[in-house]
Structure 1
């Protein structure tokens, strides 16, 4: 059995592995991340392929330009996550946790995992994926991503 690696620092957090870790397994998440003392936490509301700012109650026509395919929706969602992180003074590597809500995990998870891996460029946060009946914003949406980032310790 491979040795458990010591925690390694990524931004304002330590990536933690435990018994059973195998570096040859390709995974879109790590088991645990511990923030460093002094890090500020940034909580990002769920982002989707839809415009972040939209009317409530929802107006259906606002969502008519949302891409129907998951590749387009996940690209928009990560672009929206970039905007929120930047506004909060955070970077992609500061993200310590994602919660991903899918309306069809079987159809969409592989595409989302690929885009997420490219977007993070080697950084891997903790993550939970959940399948839901539908998302609240519009029934055409297939994915929502919520994030937590740890920013600024030791900087």
Structure 2
């Protein structure tokens, strides 16, 4: 029988954070795993870059004026994701998985600190990949999340 989660989401008791070594939790900016008990469903949020959520296709490059600072790019992407979560009556503590795509892996620490501004002490499962380029010139990060629906 599986043991109980390390802790449950304060907004969604069906989500449990798994920490196999709780004494080392302070060393982890993410959960090794997230357990969902009898979920109602999942919200899969498309990747967000520093670009506005709604923009023209084909791209009008004037809509994609990205700041150079990776922290600001991360904040813009997280604000976009936050608006989708809010639209669905969810919060950051309903997020179970964060995937980050960076063009420079040396910026991972700054990205992680910036994401913490949004998720606070909640630790979703996480994956980080380094990619050659993203959808618009100057974009250095793309973030996608999965969230568990409540109930």
Distance 1:24 1:13, change over 3 A: closer
Residues matched between the structures, number: 145
Q: RMSD value over aligned CA atoms?
A: 1.6
Query: What is the rounded CA distance, in whole Å, between the counterparts of 1:121 and 1:25 in structure 2?
Result: 13
Per-residue deviation, 1:25? 4.3
Question: Which stretch of structure 1 is more off in the superposition, 116-125 or 9-18?
Answer: 9-18
Distance 1:58 1:37, change over 3 A: same
Q: What is the DSSP-based 3-state SS (H/G/I as helix, E as strand, rest coil) of the residue aligned with 1:139?
A: coil
> What stretches of structure 1 of length at least 5 have no aligned partner?
none
Q: What is the DSSP-based 3-state SS (H/G/I as helix, E as strand, rest coil) of the residue aligned with 1:145?
A: strand
Equivalent residue for 1:133? 132
> What stretches of structure 2 of length at least 5 have no aligned partner?
none
Equivalent residue for 1:71? 71
Per-residue deviation, 1:139? 2.0
Q: Deviations over 1:65-92 (max 9, x none)?
A: x211111111111111110101122111
Per-residue deviation, 1:93? 0.3
TM-score normalised per structure 2: 0.88
Query: What is the rounded CA distance, in whole Å, between the counterparts of 1:122 and 1:21 in structure 2?
Result: 14
Equivalent residue for 1:146? 144
Q: Deviations over 1:31-89 (max 9, x none)?
A: 1111121432101000111101111111111112x211111111111111110101122
Query: What is the rounded CA distance, in whole Å, between the counterparts of 2:121 and 2:52 in structure 1?
Result: 27
Q: What is the DSSP-based 3-state SS (H/G/I as helix, E as strand, rest coil) of the residue aligned with 1:23?
A: helix
